Structure formats: structure tokens, C-alpha cells
Chain A
Amino acid sequence: SQELEQSPQSLIVQEGKNLTINCTSSKTLYGLYWYKQKYGEGLIFLMMLQKGGEEKSHEKITAKLDEKKQQSSLHITASQPSHAGIYLCGADITGNQFYFGTGTSLTVIP
């Protein structure tokens, strides 16, 4: 079983379109992290959310952790080809082990 479920698994959007990626846990999240991975490269830390209802933005990417701290969404506004890659959420669910989501592959068509 997967501790963190991401949806959708893959996404193809036209440049300029908005999109949302979701990360869902069956348990309370003790900190939720979003990473971006360019194909064949390592992961780059995007942002961290800890408090229920917390929302953070970086350039055109906004992430939010819901009030119950069991789901997070990543929203990209006016997508660009540079946004293409694999987005992974990560979280400390049990209090002593970190888990990653299954990843969402994003393709942005110019």
C-alpha cells in the first residue's frame, strides 16, 4: 500500500493553463513537502507546509495543506515549459519515517 497517494499520475497541459496536483494521506501529516524532479535528475525542494490551512507560494506555484492535515494541493498558475517534470510530495506520517508520494509527471506543451 502507498502511504501517500498523488493524483493525477500524469498531466499534459497547454502552456498558459493552470493545473492542480493533489497529495492525500490516510493519516495526519507531520509536515508536508513538495519536490520537483527534472527527468533523470535529483529532487529539488520546493516548499514545506506544517500547519493546517497553511498556504505558501513561490513564483507561480502555490501549495496548501488542508485543515485536517491529511491532504495537500499544488497549484501552478499560467504553466510554462520550465514547469515540466515530476512533482513529488513527501511527508513524515508516522513520526519517525519519511514517505514520498508516487509522483505526478507534468508535460507542458508550448
Chain B
Amino acid sequence: DAGITQSPRHKVTETGTPVTLRCHQTENHRYMYWYRQDPGHGLRLIHYSYGVKDTDKGEVSDGYSVSRSKTEDFLLTLESATSSQTSVYFCAISTSTNEQFFGPGTRLTVL
């Protein structure tokens, strides 16, 4: 258990509304990641962070932004949610040997 929590765990929102998902870790890991998981697509990287205020894009970053103002928190924001962003979102941390540990996930539904 890498002490990773995600909030909220479930959210239903409407198209066009902003949504922020939070990932919190308790073990001071430098690297944090946001993935989305959709049937048939496996895990796809949205954004990642390599330190406070240091972030970079993943393969499916369009429509998402992130922020990391503290080591322990990594926020994912959908500025204007669309139905295509209905998904399960996972946060992860990485150790220095590339092992990633995952949070429990957030199920987001955009109506």
C-alpha cells in the first residue's frame, strides 16, 4: 500500500462543467501520474509530474490540465467536461525502480 487516495471516488457531472479530481499520497514520491482506463484501450497516460510545479503531457492530454503545488497532491482538471471524458481515472506514483502503485480510481460520468 503506497498510501494513495483519490477523491471523489464517483462523480456524475454535466457536459460543459469543470471537474477537478484529486490524488493524494503520503510517502513523498517525486513522480505522480494520471491515467484513464476505457474498455479496449487499457491504460492511457494523461499527464504526469516529476516534482512540485513540474508536469508534462502524456498521450491523451487534450482537454485536461494538471497542477502540483505540493509534493503530496496532484490535481487533474477537466476545464469543460465532455461525454468522451466519461472514464475511470487512476492516479499512480512511481518508485525509483519504475514500480508504479495505483490509487483506487475515480469513476467519472459526463452526461
Do A and B pair up? The answer is no
